[in-house]
Amino acid sequence: MKVQNPNYIILLILLLSINPKRYSHSNRRKRGVRATHQSILKVKEAKSTQKLTIEKLAEKAYISESTVKRFLRRKHVDQDYAIAILKALNLEYQNIIEDEEDNKLVA
């Protein structure tokens, strides 16, 4: 079988040599931090006191509504987003969020 383009063989070799585990979903960047259970109560209380909807809180924090919802469900979010939510509510972030890797509080 004669191959018209030698680059085709090189491309085929490269594709076959790629390690699929390297590009798997499990190796994606982790979200980073999540709020503690007690902290969510404080966040929801502050949100209620300021009469903020999730939409308004997201606007005030300059992030998406889905990120705010994930944070309020104690899902992992980027630390910068968590801090933005807390700042929008005028809350300190010490003892509010925990690190994903070892569940330690982030100060």
Q: How many domains does the chain have?
A: 1
Structural domain includes residue 103: no
Q: Model-level pTM greater than 0.85? A: no
Q: What distance, in Å, lies between the first and last C-alpha atoms of the chain?
A: 65
Tell me the pLDDT band of 107, cut-offs 50, 70 and 90. very low
CATH of the domain at 79: 1.10.260.40
More confident site: 27 or 35: 35
> Which DSSP string corresponds to the chain?
---S-HHHHHHHHHHHH--GGGGSGGGSPP--EEE-HHHHHHHHHHHHHTT--HHHHHHHHTS-HHHHHHHHTT--B-HHHHHHHHHHTT---TTTEEETTT-PBP-
Domain that holds residue 81: 32-91
pLDDT per residue as tens digits for the range 36-95? 888 899 999 999 999 999 999 999 999 999 999 999 999 999 989 999 999 999 988 776
